[in-house]
Amino acid sequence: MVQEAIRDGRSLSEDELATARRIGVAHPEEIRIVLGPIPLPKAISLAKWIERMGIGEQPEGLTLGYAIFLDCGLNIPKGLLVHELRHCYQGEQAGSLNGFVCQWLSEIAKFGYLDAPMEVDARAWAWASVLTDEKSNIWVLKSLEARKKGEVQKMTPNIQYQSARSQK
Ligand SMILES: [Zn+2]
């Protein structure tokens, strides 16, 4: 799935490359975007687990290494892109796709989707990036609202991954 995305996906535009660098991605030229339905695990147990963790049955984005899957139509909301680009950064920090996925899954198991430090971090970057972009702003609000009502206060910008972690 990741290899196919890297082969068939599109690379970032100049604007998107600049955004990715600003977010901290070291090799944004490696990133490929695939638009369309998010490929979700076929295993029923994992699919159920994802639902139970509050990730939602139909996520708008999924990032695996340098492969970003987006199910959002042709106009990519900036907040969504920034969120997923930040996961690319986290993947680089983790050092490998396996390392990233293991950390992400264990954080979600431990803290829940909304409070997982990697998600808090990605959401904070998305939030900070869309403060001046009304359309994406609405996307962030809607997506959070849909996931868990009354959780909007968790969107307070909190740029540093470390400080997001030390809140726990
Ligand atoms: Zn995320």
Per-residue pLDDT of 78-107, as tens digits, reads 889 999 999 999 999 999 999 998 999 899
Q: Is the pLDDT of residue 113 over 60?
A: yes
Distance from the CA of 156 to the center of ligand 1, in angstroms? 16
Distance from the CA of 8 to the center of ligand 1, in angstroms? 22
Distance from the CA of 10 to the center of ligand 1, in angstroms? 20
C-alpha span between 28 and 11 (Å, rounded) = 9
Res 140: pLDDT: 59
H/E segment holding residue 70: strand 67-70
Strand order in the sheet with 61-64: 32-35, 67-70, 61-64
Mean pLDDT calculated for residue range 140-148: 58
Distance from the CA of 83 to the center of ligand 1, in angstroms? 6
Distance from the CA of 30 to the center of ligand 1, in angstroms? 19
Q: Is the pLDDT of residue 61 over 70?
A: yes
Res 154: pLDDT: 45
Res 81: pLDDT: 94
DSSP codes joined into one string, 47-58: HHHHHHTT--SS
Res 156: pLDDT: 41
Contact present, 60 and 70 (Cβ < 8 Å): yes
Mean pLDDT calculated for residue range 31-53: 74
pTM: 0.75
Mean pLDDT calculated for residue range 127-146: 63
What's the burial of 15, exposed, middle or buried (CB within 10 Å: 0-12/13-18/19+)? exposed
Contact present, 105 and 97 (Cβ < 8 Å): no
Distance from the CA of 72 to the center of ligand 1, in angstroms? 15
